[in-house]
Amino acid sequence: MSDLRDAVAEGFGACYGRSPDGIWSAPGRVNLIGEHTDYNDGFALPFAIDRRTVLALALRDDGRMRVGTSLSPDVVELDRGRLAQAEGWSAYPLGVAWALGQASVVGEAAADLAAVPGFDVYLDSEVPLGAGLSSSAAIECAMAVALNDVWRLGLDRRALVKAGQAAENTVVGAPTGFMDQTASLFGARDQAVLLDCRSFQIDQVALGFAEAGLTVLVIDTGVDHAHATGGYAARRRSCEAAAAALGVPSLREVGVADLDRARTVLDDETFRRTRHVVTENQRVLDTVRLLREAGPSAIGELLDDSHRSMRDDFEISVPELDLAVETAQSAGALGARMTGGGFGGAAIALVPHELLSLVQVAVDGAFAEHGYAQPESFVVDPSHGACRDR
Strands 65-69 and 119-125: parallel
**In 3D, which of 33, 36, 34, 35 has the Cα closest to residue 239?**
36
**In 3D, which of 236, 225, 250, 100 has the Cα closest to residue 176?**
236
CA distance linking residue 304 with residue 307, whole number of Å: 5
Q: 351, 328 in Cβ contact below 8 A? A: yes
**In 3D, which of 104, 105, 97 has the Cα closest to residue 64?**
97
Q: How far is CA 209 from the centre of its chain?
A: 20
Name the residues annotated as catalytic: 180
Q: How far is CA 211 from the centre of its chain?
A: 25
Burial of 286 (0-12, 13-18, 19+ CB in 10 A): middle
Q: 56: which strand partners?
A: 23, 122
- Under DSSP, the state recorded for 85 is G
Instruction: Report residue 30: phi and psi, to 5°.
Output: -110, 130
Q: Is the dihedral of CA 120, 125, 127, 128 positive or negative?
A: positive
CA distance linking residue 322 with residue 341, whole number of Å: 15
Classified as helix, coil or strand, 250 is coil
